[in-house]
Amino acid sequence: MSTPGAYLRLIRIGWVLVREGVVSALPPENLPAFARFGQSVAGLFSRRRALNEERSDRLARAIERLGPSYVKIGQFLATRPDVVGAEFANDLTFLQDRMATFPIEEARAAIEGSLGRSVSELYAHLDAPIAAASVAQVHPAGILVDGVERKVAVKVIRPGIRQRFANDLEAMYLVSRMQERLLPHTRRLRPVEVTKTLEQTTKIEMDLRLEAAALSEIAENSRNDPGFRVPKVDWERTGRDVVTMEWIDGIKMSDVQGLIDAGHDLNALADTLIQSFLRHTLRDGFFHADMHQGNLFVDPAGMIVAVDFGIVGRLGKKERRFLAEILYGFITRDYRRVADVHFEAGYVPSHHDVASFAQAIRAIGEPIHGQPAETISMAKLLTLLFEVTELFDMETRPELVMLQKTMVVVEGVARTLNPRFNMWKASEPVVGGWIRDNLGPKRIVSDVREGLHAALRLAEAAPEIAAKTEKFSREITDMAESGLRFDAQTAEAIGRSEARHSRLGRLALWVIAATLVYIAFKLV
């Protein structure tokens, strides 16, 4: 249930979006007549300076005014072009997650409250913050290891952010429910489910122990990968509100000139970046889902170091196999196979025609084969794919959308390093190897092995399954003989619900009666 506060917050959101010119910047062509009229009225209340800015600037200013939790919401929606549209997702991609720092005294209190020890015991020194984002800020610090000081980075959660985000999330749920009720054609996007995903993602990001666990898992998965690594976690100094990790001395990937001056091979870095991402996705099924330039460094040895693992994505083996088959179908121009995979995976409802869907996929794939590989934009390809799947009522697959959006971001970073970056050529060693191992004879051996393991687990669970089945059978028999019975708690809950509805019904009747009396009085 939405509280009055949620409605008030929704009103505030609408007012900020109007004042910063975001509403007047919406594309009017797909809006109904009443919405276009409302948009023109909203333009009258926009700040004059906002009307002269780009839409992405208006959006960024509005989100920053709304506060840190909306910055995080905006970043999440940037990974969901299926929900907000490709244009707005692109605008949100450039949203800067830079907020004002909070006092070091509050950071010290958060560290001591989370770890149960004083800052002086934990660190040789804790310095002023050097960067602050919507959820946390980072402090340089030093620790003593065998009498030698070692520099570390200390990430501390922003005070009060959890409660603030919970309040703002309530307004998001209100919007998503209104969207499902008032815009039935958008139900396939499952806005309430999207909001649940946002809630879960952010809860994970606000528990820094889980970010540390993601760092640790990626480190294990990529320990033998060429040219890529992540910072080491100091578990002794890590808790819910603080994570301590290795300090990275490196050059941000956004500083292209700095990379050149340091003598790094930009083409090799671009290839390593995309290959690392694909290894994590296809081989491990676990990937960094926020790989923009600000989260990527190059250390003096030329290794790419990724930081900030607050947002990660997972793919099951089944999804990875379907993804590889779809990609392989595009490469080999086997569009019927691509269509079949979509139907086999349940991505497209079965009442649609496979041949018609294959025809739509061909409309996307054929233009690709007529262009030089380095000119093909993955962003454009995915935009076309979203348009086609919308025609065929394809429901949102959050895990695939996050993967696709991350792939677009990674490709964009690679192209800043090498404007003629050939995504397909760079991807082939990883994708081709995975396809050979998982879609060829090795797949049969793997499937048989997994089948045997599943059969063994089923055999071990057979006695418990039999006992539960027998119990369920007895309960059904008792129900058939004695009828359905409620326990006391259930009966009491039903009574309270009925009483509440009765009170509301009586109140509604009194309101209607009072209104009729008022109208009659006016007529007299």
* Strand residues in 276-413 grouped as ranges (E): 286-288, 296-298, 304-306, 312-314
Q: What pLDDT score was predicted for residue 31?
A: 62
pLDDT digits (tens, 9 = 90+) for 376-392: 666 566 666 666 666 77
Q: 237 and 122 in contact (C-beta within 8 Å)?
A: yes
What is the DSSP secondary-structure string of 250-269?
Answer: -EETT-HHHHHHTT--HHHH
Nearest residue to 399 via CA among 185, 79, 47: 79
Burial 106-142 (b: 16+ CB within 10 A, else e): ebbebbbebbeeebeebbeebeebeebbbbbbbbebb
- Cα-atom radius of gyration of the chain, to the nearest Å? 28
Query: What are the residue ranges of helices labelled H in 222-334?
Result: 256-261, 266-278, 317-332
Tell me which residue has tokens 């290894």: 279
pLDDT of residue 505: 53
Contacts of 52 (CB under 8 A, 6+ apart): none
User: What pLDDT, on the 0 to 100 scale, is given for residue 524?
Assistant: 46
Task: Give the active site residues.
Answer: 290
Digit-by-digit pLDDT tens for the chain (524 residues) are: 456 777 787 788 778 877 777 777 666 666 666 666 776 777 777 776 656 666 667 777 777 778 777 777 777 777 666 566 666 666 676 665 667 889 999 999 999 999 999 999 999 999 999 988 878 899 999 999 888 999 999 999 999 888 888 888 888 888 888 877 877 766 766 778 777 877 877 787 889 999 999 999 999 999 999 999 999 999 999 999 999 999 999 999 989 999 999 999 999 999 999 999 989 988 899 999 888 888 899 999 999 999 988 888 888 887 788 777 776 777 678 888 888 887 887 778 888 888 988 888 888 778 766 666 566 666 566 666 666 666 777 666 666 667 777 887 888 888 889 888 877 778 878 877 887 777 666 555 655 666 666 677 777 777 877 777 777 777 777 766 666 565 666 666 666 665 555 555 555 555 555 555 554 454 44
Tell me what pLDDT residue 79 has: 63
Indicate yes or no: pTM above 0.75: no
3-class DSSP assignment, residue 239: strand
Identify the helix (H) or strand (E) that includes residue 16: helix 4-19
Cβ atoms of residues 316 and 393 within 8 Å: no
